[in-house]
């Protein structure tokens, strides 16, 4: 019989993807392992290979469609015909519709118990909320977060009627229902992405507008930043460091690094300086588990570096950065950044970071306040280095004024895990490493 191909598991915590390219057509013969689709998750674009050597007899998705893990995306020839597969697709859709449409008994029961409190979700429930693609699409259109909708479907499945009923509730009634549906960890404020905001005005009455879907990387960034800002008490620490000698050293050696396929940037030195500080202050290389009230200290140093791409800001990770020389880091970071900009970074490239660095120096700006890459504890920001007149003592102890190359540094940290004094000490270690390149020479 014809064989169906369902969207496979694309990684931990990823349950849906947007189809951005279909690489084959009906009638094409493909080999097992040939790429047939490109799907974009909230982390990366992923090429999906064929599991069969066979003829493509059906394509069940189109570009721009959001599909969930387990949905049929393609059909391949087999020992029979495509009827069985088509029956499977139709059966799946019918099952979704059946679960979404309440039975007469449920409708009657709902009318009789109209005054009762809404059904709550199991308090231990975690992970994705069971709902069909149509229900998810409706929730997005109505601005409803499925995590807070009391379900009426089988096995806790949220239906379209549940979404509409929740969206029509007055704010006063919606708030307790949301709290009941998804209780927060003790001592943690409630996080409702984009929820309870005033309805936007009709902007089109003042002029032409264009609506662009908030998809993939941009959507993931919005969620991640809202989560981090709402859950983590951010504190910012600012300073600047004299990198005159470091810049002289960088210029002397950048050509030889380029010959080896790398790029010697200030970020590379910052990575090494950060690792020195992380080893002295391990709470900056940690995550907080509020449910167990534990700080998770990590004995590895995977440094994330923010990369500006056409798809949005992504943070690929250099693994075991403490075990690599400045030359190795220069090459690996350059190659990883290139893959990320080209959309070729793997999911593994974008996961598992313990501390992040973001450098906007090439774009300009004197300072900024970065947002922590949750669930990390801190992030280091770098702005544009500039020549400034600096008053300092010379070798004879006399005060002099001379131009020095000064680099602004900004660090945001989680005040639940570390304090301001810790941040100042951490930053001083980073500054000392950057101020004296001889401290990092042994890693070349």
Among 83, 100, 117, give the residue marking a domain's end: 100
Q: What percent of the chain has pLDDT over 70?
A: 78
Number of domains in the chain: 3
Closest CA to 389 of 406, 364, 366: 406
pLDDT in tens, 109-168: 554 544 444 444 444 344 456 777 667 767 776 777 777 888 887 667 788 888 888 887
DSSP 1-49: --EEEEPPP-STT--EEEEEEE---TT-EE-TT-EEEEEE-SS-EEEEE
Whether residues 356 and 295 share a domain: the answer is yes
Q: Is residue 247 in a domain?
A: yes
Which of the four pLDDT bands, split at 50, 70 and 90, describes residue 212? confident
Which of the four pLDDT bands, split at 50, 70 and 90, describes residue 343? confident
pLDDT of residue 196: 56
Whether residues 24 and 155 share a domain: the answer is no
Helix axes 133-142, 160-168, angle to 10 degrees: 10
Whether residues 225 and 178 share a domain: the answer is no
pLDDT of residue 179: 45
Whether residues 18 and 151 share a domain: the answer is no
Q: Is residue 65 in a domain?
A: yes
Provide the domain limits for residue 73: 3-100
Among 46, 80, 100, give the residue marking a domain's end: 100
Model pTM? 0.66
Tokens for 18?
């947007």
DSSP 48-102: EE-SSSEEEEEE---TT-EEETT-EEEEE--SS-SHHHHHHHHHHHHHHHHHHSP
- Is residue 217's pLDDT more than 50? yes
Which of the four pLDDT bands, split at 50, 70 and 90, describes residue 18? confident
Cα–Cα distance, 126 to 136 (Å, whole number) = 17
User: Is 302 labeled as catalytic in the residue annotation?
Assistant: no
CATH number of the domain residue 178 falls in: 4.10.320.10
pLDDT in tens, 410-444: 999 999 999 999 999 999 999 999 998 877 665 44
Whether residues 303 and 177 share a domain: the answer is no
CATH number of the domain residue 65 falls in: 2.40.50.100
Of 15, 234, 253, 415, which residue is the catalytic one?
Answer: 415
Mean pLDDT, the chain, as a whole number?
A: 82
Whether residues 378 and 234 share a domain: the answer is yes
Per-residue CA distances from 28 to 23, 48, 122, 125 (Å): 10, 16, 47, 43
Radius of gyration (Cα) for the chain, nearest Å? 27
Q: Is residue 434 in a domain?
A: yes
pLDDT of residue 171: 57
| Residue 258 host element (H or E) | helix 244-259
- Using the Cα atoms of residue 140, residue 17, residue 25 and residue 87 in order, give the sign of their dihedral: negative
Q: Is residue 431 in a domain?
A: yes
pLDDT of residue 364: 83
pLDDT in tens, 64-73: 888 888 889 9
Q: Is residue 84 in a domain?
A: yes
Whether residues 302 and 368 share a domain: the answer is yes
Cα–Cα distance, 431 to 240 (Å, whole number) = 8
Whether residues 82 and 149 share a domain: the answer is no
| Mean pLDDT, range 222-238, rounded to an integer | 91
Whether residues 290 and 436 share a domain: the answer is yes
Q: Is residue 189 in a domain?
A: no
Among 80, 100, 120, give the residue marking a domain's end: 100
Q: Is residue 331 in a domain?
A: yes
Whether residues 176 and 309 share a domain: the answer is no
pLDDT of residue 325: 93
pLDDT of residue 282: 97
- Is residue 11's pLDDT more than 70? no
pLDDT of residue 80: 43
Whether residues 133 and 96 share a domain: the answer is no
Per-residue CA distances from 284 to 135, 298, 314, 315, 440 (Å): 41, 9, 21, 18, 21
Whether residues 95 and 148 share a domain: the answer is no
Q: Is residue 115 in a domain?
A: no
Cα–Cα distance, 89 to 279 (Å, whole number) = 54
CB 377 within 8 A of CB 369: no
Residue 17 backbone phi and psi in degrees, to 5: -155, 155
Closest CA to 303 of 276, 280, 327: 276
Report the range of poorest mean pLDDT among 120-124, 274-278, 295-299: 120-124
């Amino acid at each position: 019989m014809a064989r169906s191909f369902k969207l496979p598991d694309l990684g931990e915590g990823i349950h849906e993807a947007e189809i951005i390219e279909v690489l084959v057509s009906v009638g094409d013969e493909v080999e097992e392992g040939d790429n047939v689709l490109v799907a974009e998750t909230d982390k990366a674009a992923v090429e999906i290979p064929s599991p069969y050597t066979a003829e493509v007899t059906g394509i069940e998705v189109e570009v721009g469609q959001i599909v969930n893990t387990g949905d049929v995306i393609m059909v391949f020839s087999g020992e029979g015909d495509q009827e069985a597969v088509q029956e499977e697709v139709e059966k799946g859709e019918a099952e979704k519709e059946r679960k979404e449409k309440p039975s007469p008994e449920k409708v009657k029961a709902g009318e009789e118990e109209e005054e009762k409190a809404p059904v709550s979700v199991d308090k231990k429930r975690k992970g994705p909320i069971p709902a069909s693609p149509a229900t998810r699409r409706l929730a997005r259109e109505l601005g409803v977060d499925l995590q807070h909708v009391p379900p009426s479907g089988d096995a806790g499945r949220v239906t379209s009627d549940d979404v509409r009923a929740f969206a029509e509730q007055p704010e006063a009634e919606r708030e307790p229902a949301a709290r009941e549906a998804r209780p927060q960890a003790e001592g943690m404020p409630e996080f409702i992405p984009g929820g309870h905001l005033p309805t936007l005005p009709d902007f089109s009455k003042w002029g032409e507008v264009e609506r662009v879907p908030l998809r993939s990387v941009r959507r993931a960034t919005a969620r991640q930043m809202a989560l981090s800002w709402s859950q983590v008490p951010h504190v910012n620490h600012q300073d600047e460091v004299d990198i005159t000698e470091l810049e002289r050293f960088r210029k002397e050696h950048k050509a030889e690094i380029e010959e080896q396929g790398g790029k010697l940037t200030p970020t590379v030195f910052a990575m090494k300086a950060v690792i020195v500080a992380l080893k002295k202050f391990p709470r900056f290389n940690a995550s907080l588990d509020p449910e167990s009230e534990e700080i998770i200290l990590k004995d590895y140093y995977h440094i994330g570096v923010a990369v500006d791409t056409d798809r949005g800001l992504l943070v690929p990770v250099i693994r075991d950065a403490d075990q690599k020389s400045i030359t190795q880091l220069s090459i690996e970071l350059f190659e990883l950044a290139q893959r990320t900009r080209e959309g070729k970074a793997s999911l593994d490239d974008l996961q598992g970071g313990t501390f992040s660095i973001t450098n906007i120096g090439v774009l300009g700006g004197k300072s900024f306040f970065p947002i922590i890459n949750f669930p990390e504890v801190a992030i280091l920001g770098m702005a544009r280095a500039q020549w400034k007149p600096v008053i300092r003592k010379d070798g004879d102890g006399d005060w002099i004024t001379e131009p020095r190359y000064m680099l602004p540094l900004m660090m945001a940290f989680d005040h639940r895990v570390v304090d301001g004094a810790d941040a100042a000490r951490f930053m001083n270690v980073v500054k000392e490493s950057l101020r004296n390149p001889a401290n990092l020479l042994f890693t070349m």
